[in-house]
Amino acid sequence: MCTQTKAASLMANIPEAEIDPTGVFKYVLIRVHSKEEGDDSSVDIVRGYAWAEYHADIYDKVAEELEKGGHLDCECIGGGRIKHDCQSKKIHVYGYSMGFGKANHAVSTEKLKVRYPKYEITWADEGY
């Protein structure tokens, strides 16, 4: 019999990409891990919001929410910026976080392509 852990079940329901509908804003790439014994599963998620003054503001809010039940643990694996133009259906991922370093923009871009399949999504290592 195959049983899924509570953590794996929770992770399966976390949206992999959640960003503001338009504008230029900071984003973080977060790795969500299971805290359950014998379960080494994890998922990477993208979160980007214009309200955040710092990358850590996004990470702190998201981590607090996800870690509430005690089944999940979060770590920020980098950050950057996103330019989201909903009118022309374009997203550009670039830059880095002073506190967390540069996220793997290729991974972030793949997560965004799943969430926004009709968009042109690009990334670059240049820029802040």
Catalytic residues: 55
Torsion of CA 113, 116, 119, 124, to 10 degrees: -40
Give the residue ranges of the annotated binding site: 26
Which residues are documented as binding site for substrate?
Answer: 26
Judge residue 105's burial from the number of C-beta atoms within 10 Å of its C-beta, 0-12 exposed, 13-18 middle, 19 or more buried.
Answer: buried
Task: Tell which residue, 70, 74, 41, has the closest CA to residue 58.
Answer: 74
Q: Residue 41 and residue 44: Cα distance in Å, rounded?
A: 11
